[in-house]
Amino acid sequence: MDAVVVGAGMSGMYMLHKLRGMGLTVQVFEAGDGVGGTWYWNRYPGARVDVKSMDYSFSFDPELEQEWEWTEKYPPQEELRRYLNHVADRFDLRRDIQLETRVTEAGYQEDAQRWLVRTDRGDEVSAQYVVMATGCLSASKVPEVPGLEDFQGDWYHTGHWPEEGVDFTGQRLGVVGTGSSGVQAIPLLAHQAADLTVFQRTPNFVVPAHNHPIDPEHQRSVKANYAEHRRANRESAFGIAVPPPTKSALEASEEERNAYYARGWYDKDNQLVSLLAGYTDMITSKEANDTAAQYVRDRIAEIVKDPEVAAMLQPTDHPFGTKRPCLGTDYYETFNLPHVHLVNVRKTPIVEITPTGIRTSEREYEFDSIVFATGFDAMTGALTRIDIRGRDGVALADKWKEGPRTYLGVAVAGFPNLFTITGPGSPSVLSNMIVSIEQHVDWVADAIGALRTGGKATMEASAEAEDAWTRHVDEVGRTTLYPTANSWYMGSNVPGKPRVFLPYIGGVGPYRQKCDEVAANGYEGFVLSA
């Protein structure tokens, strides 16, 4: 093949479409038995995207974006999966996607200047280019507590939910984890379970989603100006255009600030970034950030009736936004239900899973089922779980032992012609993912096009460019509050993972400009060889 693409989520499908359009032969391997990536695997109750549908959709084909009708402000997983299946059919992608096949190895063969890719089904494919479209949040993680294999009930991870769904009616249910997945699932699980216990390690900032059917007039007006709407998103900081802030939160009066935060909290058209986007220093000044954090803590105290439970739900150990904030529907309200209990596992850690439940340092809880909403080995896990070996047989997992090193988050020195879509060191998870996916796929396709027209066989990030970019990602990260939190952005949720700020916080717009400059300067920082 000319190219192997690993993964048939949004990035893998679009990469296939682009490369095939350029006349390349492409083989896509996908572990799932359907396309859709994140929206294939995350089928837990309540799963929905927390970026508005009109922004969280492909922009590469004007007909596609005009013909698809979204039904809600934040589409549920089922609708996103339908959309991605539609994309697969519309662009006839399936014939080059091999499902139920996990890539296990990719090794660079220096003599041939090609990659040899192997799968768990025994495939062996030689390709000139390999594109890792493996997703940032796809390597799921069950806590490393002993005893799970002896649990006699059923257990589930939100990121690998059974296709047929699960009915917890009448059950005693334990849920571990209160990130976006837990926050979305808990209110719905509470409807089903007879008794629900939530094990919380870190309380999160949860803003009301106010999800509702999409206003047809709004959909029409966005579609009428879609090109402009998309351009503004691409040039914005987070891939969602909002008016740029002009002043510090500390320059605003308390009244002014609270009026602004109230819009972010109560307005039915609010969005995840609403509370954070109003002032210039929300992610750089703890004092400024604390004005919004306190606003949320006050709302929690208003909603949750038991003051002790309210206090447990109030985040105090990290600035607002430095761990991924969540959108919720009746999340805090759920803790007012008499059959819903909250356990602080920071205070009384889980020590083991027993045959009948979960034992903390304080006592044992008995369950019929356990749901782990415990997240992912984010950004690097999906890459390092594959045995990827570059020049001299160097394994990517070894190279990244002290943290990922990339050039622009898209290429790695020593791994020629291997590209990582939304890899570490790119805006990725700090952005509207689909904007970043399209930008990377377009850039990689252009780079491959340039290689082919220029008669070059390989492109490889130079060690100097990689060093400089890795330093830059770290330096920019350090100007913000992000490194002060224990978050998956910092690798802190995986024991033993180096503490490195994984995404790039320089902004989607400026980052795009940088990538474009690199290309315009003849792929500056890359070594192109014949």
Please give the residue ranges that form the binding site for ligand NA7 (CB under 6 A): 137, 143, 158, 176-182, 199, 201-202, 324, 345, 350, 373-375, 429, 488, 493
Q: Cβ of residue 494: shortest distance to ligand NA7, in angstroms?
A: 9
Which tokens in the block code for residue 521? Answer: 């300067």
Nearer to ligand NA7 (CB atom), residue 390 or residue 409: 409
Question: Is residue 490 helix, strand or coil?
Answer: helix
Output the six-digit token pair for 453.
Answer: 């027209």
Nearer to ligand NA7, 50 or 96 (CB): 50
d(CA 316, CA 318): 6
Return d(Cα 165, Cα 142) in angstroms, integer: 19
Our CB check for ligand NA7 shows the closer of 48 and 512 to be 48
Taking the complex as a whole, the smallest distance from the CB of residue 174 to ligand NA7 amounts, in Å, to 11
Characterize 460-476 residue by residue with b for buried, 16 or more Cβ atoms within 10 angstroms of its Cβ, and e for exposed. bbeeebbeebbeebeeb
Q: Which is nearer to ligand NA7, 125 or 435 (CB)?
A: 435
Contacts of 383 (CB under 8 A, 6+ apart): 132, 134, 396, 420, 423
Closest of 205, 230, 378 to residue 290, by C-alpha: 205
Nearer to ligand NA7, 324 or 497 (CB): 324
Q: How far is the CB of 245 from ligand NA7 (least distance, A)?
A: 23
Task: Work out how close the CB of 182 gets to ligand NA7 at its nearest, in angstroms, rounded to a whole number.
Answer: 5
User: Shortest approach of ligand NA7 to residue 211 CB, angstroms?
Assistant: 15
Distance CA 456, CA 498 (A): 36
CB 517, min distance to ligand NA7, A: 29
CB of 518 closer than 8 Å to CB of 440 = no
Q: Are 268 and 305 in contact (CB under 8 A)?
A: no
Which CB atom, from 23 or from 495, has the smaller least distance to ligand NA7? 495
* DSSP 8-state secondary structure symbol assigned to residue 243: P
User: Which residue in 14, 46, 3 sits closest to 328, CA to CA?
Assistant: 46
Query: 321 or 507, CB closer to ligand NA7?
Result: 321
The dihedral region occupied by 237, where left means phi > 0, alpha psi between -120 and 50, and beta the remainder, is alpha
| DSSP-based three-state secondary structure for 254 | helix
Residue 17: phi and psi, rounded to 5, are: -60, -45
Least CB distance to ligand NA7 at residue 459 (A): 31
Cβ atoms < 10 Å from Cβ of 499: 10
Which residue of the chain is nearest ligand NA7 when measured via CB? 179
Residue number, 181 or 458, with CB nearest to ligand NA7: 181
Residue 137 CB, nearest distance to ligand NA7 (Å)?
A: 5
Alpha-carbon distance 81 to 495, whole Å? 32
Distances (CA, A) of 259 to 58, 248, 256, 267: 34, 15, 5, 11
CB nearer to ligand NA7: pick between 39 and 443: 39
- Name the residue nearer to ligand NA7 (CB basis): 39 or 199: 199
Distance CA 434, CA 380 (A): 19
CB of residue 374 to ligand NA7, shortest distance in Å = 4
Q: What is the crossing angle of helices 433-453 and 10-21, to 10°?
A: 30
Interatomic CA distance for residues 335 and 304, integer angstroms? 7
- Of 176 and 282, which has the nearer Cβ to ligand NA7? 176
Closer CB to ligand NA7, residue 37 or residue 416? 37
Q: How far is the CB of 395 from ligand NA7 (least distance, A)?
A: 26
CB of residue 349 to ligand NA7, shortest distance in Å: 8
- As measured in angstroms, the least distance from the Cβ of 185 to ligand NA7 is 9
Q: Which residues contact 78 (CB under 8 A, 6 or more apart)?
A: none
Q: How far is CA 73 from CA 186, 214, 515, in A?
A: 20, 5, 32
